[in-house]
A = this chain, B = another copy of it.
Amino acid sequence: MTRDACVALDRADVLAPLRAQFALDAADASGLVYLDGNSLGPLPRAAAARVRQVVEAEWGDGLIRSWNDAGWITLSQRIADKIARLVGACDADVVVADSTSVNLHKVLSAAVQIATADAPARRVVLSERTNFPSDLYVADTLARQHGLQLRLVDADDVVAALSRDTAVLLLTHVDYRTGRMHDMASVTRAAHAAGALMIWDLAHSAGAMPVELHGDGSPEGSADFAVGCGYKYLNGGPGAPAFLWAHPRHTRRMDAEGWRQPLAGWFGHATPFAFAADYRPAAGSARFQCGTPPIVSLAALECGIDTVLAAAALGGLAALRRKSVALTSLFIALVEQRCAGHGLMVVTPRETEQRGSHVAVAHADGACAIVQALIARGVIGDFRAPDILRFGIAPLYTRFVDVWDAVDRLAQVLASGEWRDERFAVRATVT
- Selected from B55, B242, B294, B431, the residue in CB contact (under 8 A) with A241 is B294
Q: Which residue of B lies closest to A382 (CB)?
A: B64
- Residues in A392-431 with C-beta less than 8 Å from chain B: 428-431
Q: Which residue of B lies closest to A100 (CB)?
A: B291
A2 within 8 A of partner (CB): no
Whether a CB of chain B sits under 8 angstroms from the CB of A129 is: yes
Residues from 2 to 32 in A contacting B, C-beta threshold 8 Å: 23, 26-27
Q: Quick check: is A147 within 8 A (CB to CB) of the other chain?
A: no
**Residues on the B chain within 8 Å of A36, using CB:** 63-64
Chain A positions 254-283 with a Cβ under 8 Å from a chain B Cβ: 260, 262-266, 269, 272-279
Roughly how many angstroms separate A218 CA and B142 CA in the complex, as a whole number? 36
Contact code string A295-322 (vs B, CB < 8 Å = 1, else 0): 1111010000000000000000000000
Per-residue B-contact encoding for A215-243, CB less than 8 Å = 1, 0 else? 00000000000000001000001111110
User: Chain B residues near A51 (CB, 8 Å)?
Assistant: 51-52, 55, 296
A72 contacts which chain B residues (CB < 8 A)? Answer: 238, 430
Q: Which residues of A128-172 are within 8 A (CB) of B? A: 129, 132-134, 136-138, 140-142, 145, 152
Among the 9-residue stretches A39-47, A179-187, A352-360, the one with 4 or more Cβ atoms under 8 Å from chain B is A39-47
A292 contacts the other chain (CB 8 A): yes
Tell whether, in the assembled complex, residue A60 and residue B48 are in contact, meaning their CB atoms are under 8 Å apart. Answer: yes
Most buried by B among A48, A51, A99, A266: A99
A102–B265 contact, CB under 8 A? yes
- A291: which B residues are within 8 A, CB to CB? 98-102, 134, 239, 242
Cα(A24)–Cα(B343), bound, Å = 61
9 sample A-B contacts, Cβ–Cβ < 8 Å, listed by A number: A26-B61, A27-B63, A55-B237, A66-B238, A68-B430, A102-B290, A134-B266, A141-B260, A239-B295
Q: Which 3 A-B pairs have the closest CB atoms?
A: A99-B291, A101-B265, A134-B266
